[in-house]
Chains A and B, each alone.
Chain A
Amino acid sequence: MEILSLLAGGVLTALEPLNLMLIIAGVSVGLFIGAMPGLGSVNGVAILLPITFLVPPGSAIIFLAAIYYGAMYGGAISSVTLGIPGASTAVATTFDGRPLALQGRASLALVTAALASFVGGSVANILFTLFAPVLATLALSFGPPEIFALMLLAFATFVGLGGDDIPKTVFSICLGLVLASVGFDTISGEPRLVLFDIPGFLRGIGFIVLAIGVYGIGEMLWTIEQTRGEVTTTNPRMTARGMMNDTREAVQRGWKGTTIGSFLGFFVGILPAAGATPGSLMSYGVAKMVSRRPELFGRGNPDGVAAPEAANNSASTGAMLPMLTLGIPGSPTTAILLGGMVIWGLVPGPRLFVDQPDFVWGLIGSFYISNFAAVLINLAFIPLFVWMLRMPFTILAPMIFVLSIVGGYAASRSIHDLWLIVIFGISAFFLRKFDYPLAPAVLAIVLGPIAEPTLRQSLLLSSGDPSIFFTRPISAPIMVFAIVLILLPAVKLFRRRKTETAAAE
């Protein structure tokens, strides 16, 4: 068992006093950075990169990996407590986490998120340890057609997510996809849809701008208007017994989503072009699909918190795999970590495992320890986050607005984006009033920038022949499966109508 002894060495390295201290510090910092809307692991890692010159490279990357882990746990915190997904990976967490918080069960949602994240991270670590080289080869066999097929599948798992009004749901999806195409067309190298010729649109419309607009401003306005400003979230005081009960309930009602998320998230996460966000979205969709009571999703089901949270942690660990085995970043954060490795004089690429085993296994060992530290630290902070929710709403609300605006600026550093947030927020308020579902638009703006280029790259590869999606061994089954899933609700609807008319006669 060579792997085990290498891993044991890695774990021991991570447990050295300096490294252990760095892990605890990194996880705590990451937790708070991840909990701020607009800031994510990418900010934490980028800012702390230069600081790591003070410690040896091995410890430095362990520190950065700890921040990465902490931020992944932290993403769920703003999704649950503020209702704003702090990062695109935590969008799906808001679907059930926010309702739970409004029902006064914020602590249940947070405990579920923490435990699911822990399981997701652990499963991913074990898979990583055992199968890294095999999985790396698998990741390489995913070219543009396969990634596009996967994106279609991600959409398919979400068909049921929209409201009851089909034209409004379709409108919302398409709006998200069109907004995602604003800015610049990489394929033709031309600026595209620079709305009203305002140069600010050159950078495109980021996910975070739409998400903060819709959830941070629009949803808040709607809540204030609906409740006449008398919002009462009666989140009970946290007690040790309460935490214990929440833990039991989280395990009972969230294990299924956790299992799905852990595995599905990992496999989507290792694909460099896909990453953690599609992984967490698909896990939510699948958890809902296989559930015996799908109607509970979206109304505060712990399974709906567990699935995306397990998935995004699992996928984030998975995203390290192409970085370490191939030197290819699977996400902006891993890209910066990769840059860090270059700065420290390591050569990322296929030879890293062979040339620097101490470094690689030290890092993998630190994943295990970071994950463990993250769940403990996260659980310890939950009472604090729940306490914040007990603030009077007339203090909490302006704070959420301030965090939205500050976070929106921090993400892109452009005032232009702040105006967009205000415009999206007020528009979202009206759309919401008229039953337009907005979650599909937010999902579409995340998946669109992956789906469109891969579609067009595939068609360039095949000289414009769409059969390329159905003739390649990996993309064909995914495509067929996705199309079946998309058509399923339509068939069901048709059948139901038929039986209804039959019954009427």
Chain B
Amino acid sequence: MIITKRTFIGAAAAAMLAALPISASAQGWEPRRPIDFVIMAGPGGGADQIARFIQSVAEKNDMTSRPLVPNNKGGGSGAEALLALKDARDKDHTLLVTLNSFFTTPLRQEGLGVDVQEFTPIAMMGVDPFVLWVHADSGITTFEQFVEEAKAMDGEFVMGGTGKGQEDSIVIAYLAGAYGLTLKYIPYDGGGAVAKDLAGKQIMATVNNPAEAKGFYESGDFVPLLAFSDERMESFPDVPTLKEKGHDFSYYNQRAIVGAPGMSEEAAEYYRTLFAQVYDSPEWQGYLESESLSPMPMNAEETRAYWDTQLQNHRDLLQQVDG
């Protein structure tokens, strides 16, 4: 046995779960084929990690009669995934794990003809806040210093991110607009690459989800300066929010499960029950905490209303990025 304590906790959790009734088939509809679990990103990124985590929770506790099969369709910044859902042959067996490209990609690529409001809301698994990071060697410890430094460097301050129109670039564009900063933005093809180049000091700062920077934060290489959440985050109680600095702006990555457009009501109900079980599982609750996700439970109508406001917000924010 290598990690006895962990094994023990695992066994205890498994025993607890065994005592709970874990059958999701209250309504009678059951999937008859493997469920296509489409992921809006390539293998290995943050979105992929979450999707595989959810899949493994369902698998481990034997919650479904047919497996959830992860299917990475990251092409065209998620456009490929949205089209796969829109044109799904088997609507009752096709699900999507989203990030915010769910909102931005249809707005930026109107030719796709995707209207996300046609999609079937299933479950909101949580939202992922964003944090501004610098390297410890830069000597910057507060957000004010960051603003000063960026102004002094006048266009030579280098930030890295996952690409124009992506979540972090929206936050950076807002920040630049609000404080009159000229920043140099280097796009990478994934959060891991950005973290690596910040650790190697190829870039000076980045904005991303805490999960992606956590290892370097714990080793003392990265310093968090500002959170873009509504309230201070539990895992970073000393980090101020942008709201405290007097700007009414917060930004989260949506981690939701969405069904194909035209999914039958019985199937949607089945999946809602299923993911409610995943959500309540000790594994997912532990994940929410360890990866600093915020819970945001919503039912189907609330989700649609949320999508409406998000689409409107993103339309405005994307204009800032492009303009």
Contacts and interface: CB of A to CB of B under 8 A. Distances in A.
Our verdict on whether A and B bind, yes or no, reads yes
A491 interface: no
A449 B31 CA distance: 39
A238 interface: no
B196 A460 contact: no
Nearest to A358: B2
Given A327-B215, A339-B49, A339-B53, A187 B163 contact: yes
A186 interface: yes
A46 interface: yes
Interface string A314-354: 00000000100011110010111011001111011111100
A272 B192 contact: yes
Contact of A53 (B59, B186, B199, B218): B59
B76 A53 contact: no
Nearest to B4: A56
A9 B55 CA distance: 34
A203 B218 contact: no
A335 B44 contact: yes
Given A57-B2, A184-B75, A350-B216, A328 B184 contact: no
Contact of B43 (A46, A142, A143): A46
Contacts of A204: 75
A319 to B, nearest CB: 12
A59 interface: yes
Contacts of A114: none
Given A49-B56, A143-B202, A350-B221, A184 B76 contact: yes
A204 B77 CA distance: 11
A162 interface: no
B80 interface: yes
A183 interface: yes
B79 interface: yes
A191 interface: yes
B25 to A, nearest CB: 21
B164 to A, nearest CB: 4
Interface in B145-191: 158, 163-166, 169, 184-189
B313 to A, nearest CB: 18
B3 A203 contact: no
A188 B76 contact: no
Contacts of B74: 203
A473 interface: no
Given A339-B44, A339-B48, A457 B187 contact: yes
**Interface centre among A338, A344, A350, by most B CB within 10 Å?**
A350
Contacts of B297: none
Contacts of A188: 164
Contact of A202 (B2, B71, B79): B79
B165 A336 contact: no
A189 B196 contact: no
A413 interface: yes
Given A203-B75, A351-B215, A186 B163 contact: yes
Contacts of B193: 272-273, 328
A362 interface: yes
Contacts of B70: 46
B299 to A, nearest CB: 28
A189 B44 CA distance: 20
A195 B201 CA distance: 38
Interface size class of B (residues with CB under 8 A): 35 or more
Interface string A344-386: 1101111110001011001000000000000000000000000
Interface string B59-89: 1100000000011011111011001000000
Given A184-B76, A191-B79, A350-B215, A329 B3 contact: no
B52 A336 contact: yes
Contacts of A345: 6, 286, 290
A347 B112 CA distance: 39
Contacts of B192: 272, 328-329, 335
B197 interface: yes
A326 B164 contact: no
Contacts of A392: none
A328 B196 contact: yes
B42 interface: yes
Contacts of A351: 215, 218-219
Given A202-B76, A461-B158, A50 B59 contact: yes
Contacts of A104: none
Contacts of A349: 214-216, 218-219
B312 to A, nearest CB: 21
Given A326-B196, A339-B44, A350-B221, A453 B59 contact: no
A326 B43 contact: no
B56 A189 contact: no
A189 B108 contact: yes
Nearest to A342: B49
A489 interface: no
Contacts of A358: 2-3
Contact of B71 (A57, A184, A413): A413
Interface string A183-227: 110111101000000010011100000000000000000000000
A374 to B, nearest CB: 22
A203 B158 contact: no
Nearest to A335: B44
Contacts of A133: none
B262 interface: no
A345 B283 CA distance: 10
A457 B216 CA distance: 23
A41 to B, nearest CB: 11
Nearest to A340: B52
Given A349-B214, A350-B219, A183 B202 contact: no
Contacts of A203: 73-76, 80
Nearest to B36: A413
A78 interface: no
Contacts of A344: 6
Nearest to B38: A413
B216 A327 contact: yes
Given A202-B80, A351-B215, A189 B200 contact: no
Contacts of A58: 1-3
A60 to B, nearest CB: 10
B83 A140 contact: no
A56 B3 contact: yes
A461 B76 CA distance: 24
Nearest to A192: B76
Contacts of A49: 52, 56
Interface in A280-337: 322, 326-329, 332, 334-336
B76 A183 contact: yes
Given A56-B3, A57-B3, A358-B3, A141 B43 contact: no
Contacts of A322: 196
Contacts of A93: none
Given A49-B56, A453-B187, 6 more contacts: A327-B195, A327-B216, A332-B43, A336-B44, A343-B53, A347-B215
Interface of B: 1-3, 6-7, 10, 42-45, 48-49, 52-53, 55-56, 59-60, 70-71, 73-77, 79-80, 83, 108-109, 112, 158, 163-166, 169, 184-189, 192-193, 195-197, 199-202, 211, 214-216, 218-219, 221, 286, 290-291
6 contacts: A56-B3, A143-B197, A203-B76, A329-B44, A336-B44, A339-B53
